[in-house]
């Protein structure tokens, strides 16, 4: 299989593997185009998305050769940022399973996920200022939401790269698994998601992603819709029947 993104499709999930091994999975325009195409598919047919790389590298950043040639108009197009926003706003959860380096744009892709897990080899951070640019594909607003303003400031202003233990301690990842067990752990998360009501999952993600000023109104409306669903009635009835049988 070739191409910058290898896609495996299942009934309840899609596994997307970043695939530019010769460039350490650096994110180039072709990969961004492939991610947009995948988003189009998952917006029409919502499923959980698992994004991963190789055991050696998740994504070592943007493609510097391409990035060096970009100018102000390219920056204003927000090429990576728009793709990562679209990934973040997919209806069903997105899981980033990371081994090795997740730097620059690779880190920002991971920040756009709902769930992040790692192997012990993870090295994650944003060294952009050392290259004369800034992390402009979501890090300056997503990272403070994930780890807090003080820690995000340290990472973004100093270029500090966290190892897996630090990323776990800071709440940037929720679990660390052996590299050869990482994808299985991502599938275990997807299995748990698949066991729940898809509409309830989608509504929960929507509420989690909503800005503070939309709460609590958004919960009321989403919950009202769920209270009228046949699936809610079926699941609650089964729960009560199981409990009574015990």
Catalytic residue among 45, 55, 89, 128: 128
200 alpha-carbon distance from chain centroid: 19
Non-local (6+) Cβ contacts of 80 within 8 A are: 27, 32, 62, 105, 108, 109, 137
CA distance 120 to 162: 11
Annotated catalytic residue 128: yes
Which structure tokens are listed for 87? 């990934």
Question: By 3-state DSSP, what share of the chain in percent is helix, strand and coil, each rounded to 5?
Answer: 55, 15, 30
Catalytic residue among 22, 41, 108, 145: 108
Residue 162, CA distances (Å) to 58, 136, 148, 158, 206 in order = 14, 19, 15, 12, 29
Q: How many residues would you count in the chain? A: 246
Annotated catalytic residue 108: yes
Non-local (6+) Cβ contacts of 199 within 8 A are: 225, 226, 229, 231
- H-assigned helices in the chain: 29-44, 64-69, 72-77, 79-88, 105-111, 139-147, 149-158, 164-169, 182-194, 198-209, 217-227, 230-245
CA distance 124 to 60: 9
What amino acid positions are annotated as catalytic residues? 108, 128
């Amino acid at each position: 299989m070739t191409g910058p993104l290898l896609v495996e499709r299942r009934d309840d999930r899609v596994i997307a593997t970043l695939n530019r091994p010769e460039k350490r999975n650096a994110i180039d325009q072709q990969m961004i185009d492939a991610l947009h195409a995948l988003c189009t598919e998952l917006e029409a047919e919502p499923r959980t998305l698992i994004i991963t790389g190789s055991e050696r590298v998740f994504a070592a950043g943007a493609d510097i050769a391409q990035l060096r040639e970009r100018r102000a108009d390219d920056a204003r197009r927000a090429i990576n940022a728009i793709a990562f926003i679209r990934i973040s706003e997919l209806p069903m959860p997105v899981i980033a399973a990371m081994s090795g380096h997740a730097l620059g744009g690779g880190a920002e892709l991971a920040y756009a996920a709902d769930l992040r897990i790692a192997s012990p080899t993870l090295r994650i951070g944003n060294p952009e200022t050392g290259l004369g640019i800034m992390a402009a594909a979501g890090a300056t607003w997503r990272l403070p939401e994930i780890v807090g303003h003080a820690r995000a400031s340290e990472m973004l202003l100093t270029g500090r790269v966290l190892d897996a233990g630090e990323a776990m301690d800071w709440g940037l990842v929720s679990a660390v698994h052996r590299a050869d067990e990482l994808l299985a752990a991502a599938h275990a998360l997807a299995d748990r998601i698949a066991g729940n009501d898809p509409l309830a999952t989608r509504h929960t993600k929507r509420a989690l992603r909503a800005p503070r000023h939309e709460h609590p109104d958004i919960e009321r409306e989403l919950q009202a819709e769920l209270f009228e669903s046949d699936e809610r009635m079926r699941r609650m009835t089964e729960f009560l029947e199981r409990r009574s049988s015990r």
